[in-house]
Structure formats: C-alpha cells, structure tokens
Structure 1
Amino acid sequence: MSQPQNRLSNKTLPDLPATVGKPAYDRSQLKTGIIHLGIGAFHRAHQAVYTENILQDDPNWGITGVSLRSPDTRDALAPQDYLYSVAVRDGAGEKLHVIGCLTDILVAPENPEAVLQAMCQPDIRIVTLTVTEKGYCYAPASRTLDESNSDIIHDLKHPHAPRSAPGFLVEAIRRRHASGLQPFTVLSCDNLPANGETLKCVTVRLAELTDAGLSSYINEHVAFPSSMIDRIVPATTDQDRVTVSRSLNADDQWPVCTEPFSQWVIEDHFPSGRPSWEKSGATFVRDVAAFELMKLRLLNGSHSTLAYLGFLAGHETVSATMAAAGFKNFIRTMMDEEITPTLPTLPDFDLSTYKDQLIERFCNPALHHRTAQIAMDGSQKLPQRLLNTIHNRLLAGQSFDRLALGVAAWMRFVTGKDENGQAIDIRDPLCDQLLQATVGLTTAQDILRALLTFDSIFAPELAQNAHFKAIILQQLETLLTNGAAKTVQNFKPQNSTQ
C-alpha cells in the first residue's frame, strides 16, 4: 500500500476511518487557556490527551505550545492545523486517536516576544512545562538555580528576550503584574523531585537577581503545584509516521506513539482555575510527594539502570533488554529489595501490583523505546533517579549493590566508548566536560575519581563517603572486566551493608 498524500487537517478530519477517534467538539469554539513550554512528544501523549478529553464540556482550555529550541514540531503540525494522532500500542495491537486541543505553536528562538505576548493574554490561567531536567537550569545535587548556565547568563543580560523556561516565566509574570493581570498557575510536569517547589525556587532566585520586589511577589502570589506524570513515550520514528499515516489514510508527519498506561497525580492548588482533568482520569491530591518519589525511584530509576546496562550489553530497546538473560530478575529484585524500603507508605495503593505493571510495561514489545533515548541527559537525571535512593540506603546501613551497578553503568557509558571500542553518541549538557574528564582513563579507580569531582551530580555526602565509593568501584571494576551482559546475568550482591 502506498503512502497517502492527503495531509491530516481540519478538512480531512471527517473522512478518517471510523476506527480512528476524533475530537468530540467544535475546534472553532476553542479558547486558549493554557501555554505549554516544551511541546515535545511526551506532552502530546500525556497532558494534551487529558485536556483533549474534557474540551467537549469546557472549550476554554485549548493549548498554545511553545518550543524553546527547534521549529520541527511547529513545522510538522502547522500544515495539519495542529492536529496529530496518538497511537496507543501493546501486544494486542494499536488504537489511534486524533488530538485537536492545540491552537497554535510558537518557536521561542524565532520570536521570544510573541511567546511573552501569548503568556500575557488575560485568558491564560495556567502555564505547564515539559522541558526535561536540564530545562530548569538548576544544579540537580542542590536543587538551586545554576547561575553559571549560559541561558541564565543571557536572560540576566536580556530579560525582555529570554531563552530559558525560568526566564520566560519571570518576564511574563513581571508583565502581567505590571498590567494588573492576575498571575497564572505554573505547573511542572517533568521528572524531578518536588518539581513545583524546585521550579518555584529557580524562578524566585532568577527574579531576585534583578528585581527583589518581583521575587517577593512571585514567592507570595504565584502558585507552583507539583505533579507526578507517568507514561512511556518513545521517540517517533520514520516508520511510525508511515504506519500511522497508512492507518489514518491521511499523512500525519508528527504522530506520537505510547502505551495504554497513563497516570497524572496533581496537587490541587490553582487559584486562577483549572480544567476538570479528574474527568480524564487525573488524580488530585493535597501532597504529591509520596507518589512522585515512588515513580522517580521505581520507574525512572529502573528505566535509567536498564538504559545504561542494556545499551552497554548491545540492546537497542528496553523490551529487548528485558528479554535478555538476567535483566528482568535483576530489575524486579532491585525494586523489591533496594528501592521499595526507601518509599513512604501510600494508603490504599497496591505497590506490588504497581511493580508488576512496571515490569509488564518494560517488556511491551510494541514500544520500541530506545535505550539511547532514555540514557540522554544522565548528569541531570542521576541524582533523583538513583543517587538519592542510595543515600537513603546508606543512612539506613542497608545494601545498594544493584543501584550501584546502575550508577557504574552510567560512569562506563560517559567514557564515550562502548564495549567494542566504538564511540557512543552521548547527549548530555555536560557531555564535553565528562568526556574530557575521562579521556585516556582505563581503570575503574581513575574513572570513579574523575567523575566524583562533578559536584552538580554527586553531593559531598556521597562523593566523600568511603563506603559509597567502595561499592561503586566494585561494580565498575566488574563491568569493565566482564561486560554488562555477563555482569547482569551472573549478578550476585556483595553484601554492601556498612
């Protein structure tokens, strides 16, 4: 069957196959109530879907997306009237639904003023973010603003034409306050601990560096609720575009592919109003911290461990990694013995079932979630996904061998050469510094010593802890000697209690 030539759009929407879900509302009646910073695949498969499902009852929550880097998403979706399809895949097949909640997409580097003007429209009541950990311009080990970040330095010099997400927030809030508009609520949807509190911290600090009065206003009057998000969304491939377009019988240049599972837990603090996301399955709570910690450590910690070990073992995807000898047992045991004891009790929540679901999701053969994609930006992810858990285990005098192997695999990965001596395409804000620090190093001791000097990753209480260093060294030496596949297959804990 040849590739269809008619483009997905408002015009072609009525002619899509009956099996394809379509917007159940009149798109011409949509009003924009949300600005979203970081219009990537995850947002379009997660928060946008939750919003899509409430628009029939309340059309006031259309979304204007903002790309802080590349025009690719805008360029692909503008000819489609900002329509795109979500392909939900598992072993049973694929279900397609066309999403219509996007009203516009702006590209910040092309026209930062247009973004600021959009953020200052009176109808905007919420700004959401999925900009990844590095987009917060913070030091993960201390959770404070990284004042040496190049975008932050730029924004301090040019506050009216910002580059960073915190820079756009500060300037938009300043303008709204000056014109008498109520502040919007700022909702982080990224994987970092206490994401709302962290975002508030960096935003207040950035404002403080130029305007103490504005800093106080943000601290006292702008709401930054935290949220926990969960859905696996692999990067869209050319083959995905072909497959989805054939099923639509229309050309969709930027579909997103995902799994059936989706979760969103949100602190219910929206002074300016919010959509009824609970009607789409979101859970509103007073404090999201326990859910967030559970997800960061069980899902994200396991995911990163799988990514680094799986990549080194030669596996392209998570599902292929889980199918390899030893990996499924290794990850489930890490969850049960090393991560679960660090988590607070969640009343009326079945943690064992949640872990069963995670294993099933990791094994999903229909999701080609590349280990290299998950391995990106490890310097930003490592503290909250693995190191904080290890720190808790250290304080409790408990073992952490499997967690340590995950950290050691990251260390092995960022040396820039795989187990066959081939170059690794490392995508990380600290890529150049990490490669420079480890160039020419061949022993585990030297690699460990070099990487522990990165205090934005390794807090002093870990970097200077003799027991921590000894266990990481032990796992790194094993990786270098035996390789990732054999290390996992033959893994035996070394009784790493103090």
Structure 2
Amino acid sequence: MNPTLLNNHTLAQLPATVTTPSYGRRELSAGIIHLGIGAFHRAHQAWYTEQVIEAGARDWGIIGASLRSPTVRDQLAPQDCLYSVVEKSNAGEKVRVIGCVQDVLVAPESPATLLEAMAQEDIRIVSLTITEKGYCHDPASGALNLQHPDIRHDLDNPQAPKSALGFIVYALQERRKRDLPGFTLLSCDNLPNNGKLLERVLFEFAEQVDAELAGWIRENTRCPCTMIDRIVPATTDADRDALQAILGVRDNAAVMAEPFSQWVIEDNFLRGRPEWDSAGATFVEDVEAYELLKLRLLNGCHSLLAYSGYLAGFETIADVMAEPAFAAMANQFLASEASAAVEAPHGFDLQTYRQQLLERFSNRALRHRTWQIAMDGSQKIPQRWLGTLRHQLESGGSIELLTFALACWIRYVSAVDDAGNPIEVSDPLAREMKAICDAHRDKPKELAGAFLQFAAVFGSDLQHSQRLQQALTTWLTSIGKHGVLSTVRMQMEKSVA
C-alpha cells in the first residue's frame, strides 16, 4: 500500500514542530523561472524566496524547469510541489516545508511549453543551477564551445533547444517579437564570476543566431554575479524514511542541508528583485572577494578531502575528518595555501571562517558522500585549485597540498582506488583522462607531464612550470607506493616535526 504523501491536503496534519507555509498558496504568482531545479536550488534559493513570500511578497513564486530528467517533477507533482528542507546538525534536525514552487516543467517533454513560460511578461528573473558543464564552455578559457553537441543542436533547432543558453536566447527572441522587456539572469552555480561567464557565453550564442538580437539582449538583460554556499548532500531512502517518521506522511522530494547558508549577490537587476536580504542574503557591488573565499577555501578544501578521502576508502566528508591526519591536512590547507591566495572583504574574519569550515566538514549528521563531491572534477578544479595554484607559483608560495590534491584527482580519474577497487568516474572528460592514465601507467613523471599538457583543464601555461611538474611527480610516486592515507599521515608527521 502506497503511503500518504505530503500535499496541500495533508499539510495541516503535520506536527507543530514543522514550519509550514502560513500564506495561501493560491495567492502566489510566478516571477521567477529556475532552470535546473535540483536539490541545491530547493535548499538554497527557494528557501530564501520562501521567507520573502512569508513576509508578504506574493509575486515571486517559482516555476522550476528540468532540462534533462523528469525525476524532480515526478517527485513534486503528486505533492502539489511541496517539499521539506531538513537542516541536519550534530545537535539535531529542523524541518521546514517550502511552498513557493508552483510548477515544474520538463524541457525535453515539451520545449515549447518552457519557452512560452519564459516569454511571459510577469517573469522578471530566470535563475540557474545547471552545474559547471551546463554552460557549454571551455573551462580553461571561458569561451562558448561552439562544437558542443547541445549548442550545435540548438543553433539548428530554435523551436526545440536542449541547453540553458538555447532556451534563454530563444525566449528572449520571443519577448523581443512581443515588444516585452527582457529579464535578469541569475547564475547560482559554483563558478568564479558566474554572471560574467553567463553573459559571455549568452552573447556568443546570440551572435550565432542574429547580431541584431544579440544587441537587443545586451540592452535588455542583466547578469549579476553571485556567491552561493550551503552543503546539500544527496537525499537517500533512509533520509526519506526518517523524515516520514517525523511528518507522518511521505515526502519523496525532501532535501537535506546543513544549518549554515550564505548568498552574496551583486545588486544589478533589470526589473526588481525579491528582498532576499530580509532572509539573510547579502547584496554588494562586487561579489569577487566573497566568491574567491568560497571557491578557494571551502570548495578547494572540500574537493581535496573528497578525492583523497574516497581513494582511502572513506564514504563521507565527516568520515574523512574523523581521521586526525586528514583533519590536520584540511586545517593546514585552509590556513596556508588557500588563505594566501585570497583577500578578505573589509570586516571579514578569515580565521573564524576557516574554523567554521572545519566544523561544517565535521557535521556527522550530514552524510555528504565523497563520491558526490568528486563528480565533474575536470569542470571544477580550474576554479577550485588552479587559480590558487597560479597565485602561489607567481608569488613563490607553498604548493605542497595543492599538488597533493591534483595527484589525488589524477589517481581518482584513473578509475581505481587504493584498494584496487574500480571507481565510477562521473565526468564529461572521463574517457580522455582515463586514456592519459592508461598511457602512462606506473610512470609518474610522464603522467604528471601529460596531465599538465591537457589544455581542456590546465590551459597552456602550467605545463611550463618545472616546479609544479616535479612536485606532482613526487606525490604521484608516493601515492602509488604507499597509498593516500599513509602518504597523508607521513606528510602531517613531517609538518609537525
């Protein structure tokens, strides 16, 4: 027998300890379309928007859109688009039901439906969480990859695009035909200067369609940069079962999150915005300092722990942090190499921020899997590690743990862990990287050199650094001989001595 689901009818039955929408959901009108309605958006931007609506704004409802899979729609539709955000910490859990999502469209099922929704005058913001690879760009240069299969398809099929860029440009084209204004495009992906990147690839795509349209889009869109931060692990069946015991009904669309949340937004909007600052967001003139802090400290350390921890056999980040040598490594990475490559905004306490990160990584209630964080590394590490690495090389600073991190990543994409178990590498460049590993197996120096020449990730400059290649070779040799865990323990013992 199927369990009773969370929906509009069962909302009133939930226990008093659960926060639920206090407004009438029928009062909402949509002002936002969100492309890529995955777990992160539902635990972050929608969570902020829910609080703005609770405060009285009724014109910022969200229409979600999935560009690939119907999974989220199939979870949310039977629940009247209601879902829970469960904040998990070592001290316990807090549950809030979110009501601001009004509908979820599945683009491959009906591209025309999504295009029409985006062409509606009431839509003032189109936000995105489509991951790094969704921008169809070259991570090393930031330019639009015109040979990307989705881009080539979209240029030939304007009525049925596949990519976010295709939907945006053709929706704007339709708004122009209807003599309607454009909208603000709000990237909420983990990329440096995400708004500027989106603006660049958007204009490059539009130029391929029509130069006059591209000019109109320049005048009728805004692309503010943002910095987003909240750890949102994948929800498991065990999570859903535990939540059902609390709610008394089943929530198949629930998302798990840490209590901490941060959102820094460049205040550059075309036609107004929700007062997200009333819910804790920060509006600034320039996001860059905040995003570098997050990318180089939080994300950089997260990826370091993910690759090294996975290879050593640890399932979650909290498991990795429970090993003293890995915890010491994380502290050293944050305090030395990562901190050296950032400049904190005025009044920002960098030491407190580092301590917060170590505590967040140690959250045992949040089972954030190392494998999940390790996904799409070829798209992430240019932002998370290579900017810091270039800074350290130019300044003559330490590159010890950055090169260790790279060595772990190279070992990871070889698709075999320290115990000899196969790794399911989820990455758009997995095949090419596996081929490099196979061609230089058991030859650390040649392997290091071949990866540094892999321009799709490293660009063209780093291959010329003998210091970098030597350090990478040393780590690859040690990992191959001793394994990751022993290598980390030896390194930390050496650091203490």
What band does the TM-score fall into relative to the shorter chain?
over 0.9
Mean CA deviation greater in 454-463 or 90-99: 454-463
What does residue 455 of structure 1 align with? 455
The alpha carbon displacement at 1:492 in A equals: 5.6
Mean CA deviation greater in 325-334 or 406-415: 325-334
What does residue 31 of structure 2 align with? 33
Q: Distance in 2 between matches of 1:463 and 1:32?
A: 49
Structure 2 unmatched ranges of 5 or more: none
Q: Distance in 2 between matches of 1:240 and 1:345?
A: 37
- SS state at 1:344 partner: coil
Q: Distance in 1 between matches of 2:213 and 2:477?
A: 51
Are 1:382 and 2:389 matched, yes or no? no
Q: Distance in 2 between matches of 1:149 and 1:481?
A: 39
Mean CA deviation greater in 339-348 or 31-40: 339-348
Query: In the alignment, is the contact (CA less than 8 A) between 1:84 and 1:254 conserved in 2?
Result: yes
What does residue 229 of structure 2 align with? 230
Segments ≥4 residues shifted beyond 3 Å: 492-495
Q: Distance in 1 between matches of 2:237 and 2:284?
A: 39
One-letter amino acid of the structure 2 residue matched with residue 471 of structure 1: A
The alpha carbon displacement at 1:438 in A equals: 2.0
One-letter amino acid of the structure 2 residue matched with residue 149 of structure 1: H
2:21 to 20, 23, 28: 23
Mean CA deviation greater in 207-216 or 290-299: 207-216
What does residue 479 of structure 2 align with? 479
- SS state at 1:124 partner: coil
The alpha carbon displacement at 1:449 in A equals: 3.0
The alpha carbon displacement at 1:464 in A equals: 2.4
Q: Distance in 1 between matches of 2:60 and 2:85?
A: 19
- SS state at 2:234 partner: coil
Query: In the alignment, is the contact (CA less than 8 A) between 1:306 and 1:318 conserved in 2?
Result: yes
One-letter amino acid of the structure 1 residue matched with residue 9 of structure 2: K
TM-score by length of 1: 0.97
Give the direction of change, closer, same or farther, for the CA distance of 1:207–1:63 in structure 2 (3 Å limit).
same
The alpha carbon displacement at 1:252 in A equals: 0.5
- SS state at 1:34 partner: strand
Deviation track 1:438-471 (CA, whole Å, cap 9, x = no partner) reads 2252221232233233212001111222222111
One-letter amino acid of the structure 2 residue matched with residue 475 of structure 1: W
One-letter amino acid of the structure 1 residue matched with residue 295 of structure 2: L
Query: In the alignment, is the contact (CA less than 8 A) between 1:402 and 1:493 conserved in 2?
Result: no
Mean CA deviation greater in 172-181 or 435-444: 435-444
One-letter amino acid of the structure 1 residue matched with residue 3 of structure 2: Q
What does residue 199 of structure 1 align with? 198
- SS state at 2:264 partner: strand
Q: Distance in 1 between matches of 2:382 and 2:118?
A: 32
Query: In the alignment, is the contact (CA less than 8 A) between 1:4 and 1:249 conserved in 2?
Result: no
What does residue 120 of structure 2 align with? 121
What does residue 470 of structure 2 align with? 470
Query: In the alignment, is the contact (CA less than 8 A) between 2:328 and 2:492 conserved in 1?
Result: no
Query: In the alignment, is the contact (CA less than 8 A) between 1:89 and 1:260 conserved in 2?
Result: yes
Mean CA deviation greater in 275-284 or 168-177: 168-177
Query: In the alignment, is the contact (CA less than 8 A) between 2:65 and 2:114 conserved in 1?
Result: yes
Give 1:328-407 correspondences, 5 Å limit.
328-407=327-406
One-letter amino acid of the structure 2 residue matched with residue 457 of structure 1: V
- SS state at 2:153 partner: helix
Query: In the alignment, is the contact (CA less than 8 A) between 2:226 and 2:266 conserved in 1?
Result: yes
Query: In the alignment, is the contact (CA less than 8 A) between 2:28 and 2:61 conserved in 1?
Result: yes
Query: In the alignment, is the contact (CA less than 8 A) between 1:46 and 1:231 conserved in 2?
Result: yes
Query: In the alignment, is the contact (CA less than 8 A) between 2:453 and 2:460 conserved in 1?
Result: no
Q: Distance in 1 between matches of 2:222 and 2:490?
A: 50
One-letter amino acid of the structure 2 residue matched with residue 309 of structure 1: S
One-letter amino acid of the structure 1 residue matched with residue 41 of structure 2: H
What does residue 296 of structure 1 align with? 295
2:12 to 11, 14, 18: 14
What does residue 308 of structure 1 align with? 307
Give the direction of change, closer, same or farther, for the CA distance of 1:464–1:13 in structure 2 (3 Å limit).
same
- SS state at 1:460 partner: coil
Deviation track 1:15-51 (CA, whole Å, cap 9, x = no partner) reads 1111110012110111000000000000000000000
Identity of aligned residues (%): 49
What RMSD in Å do the two structures reach over aligned CA positions?
A: 1.4
Deviation track 1:390-449 (CA, whole Å, cap 9, x = no partner) reads 001111111111011111110000011111222100000111222223225222123223
Are 1:243 and 2:271 matched, yes or no? no
Structure 1 unmatched ranges of 5 or more: none
What does residue 162 of structure 1 align with? 161
Query: In the alignment, is the contact (CA less than 8 A) between 1:4 and 1:246 conserved in 2?
Result: no
- When the two structures are aligned, how many residues end up with a matched partner? 493
One-letter amino acid of the structure 2 residue matched with residue 407 of structure 1: L
TM-score by length of 2: 0.97
- SS state at 1:439 partner: helix
What does residue 442 of structure 2 align with? 442
Mean CA deviation greater in 3-12 or 90-99: 3-12
The alpha carbon displacement at 1:147 in A equals: 1.6
- SS state at 1:488 partner: helix
What does residue 284 of structure 2 align with? 285
The alpha carbon displacement at 1:494 in A equals: 9.7
What does residue 146 of structure 1 align with? 145
- SS state at 1:42 partner: helix
Q: Distance in 2 between matches of 1:321 and 1:494?
A: 20
The alpha carbon displacement at 1:139 in A equals: 1.0
What does residue 61 of structure 2 align with? 62
Query: In the alignment, is the contact (CA less than 8 A) between 1:196 and 1:224 conserved in 2?
Result: yes
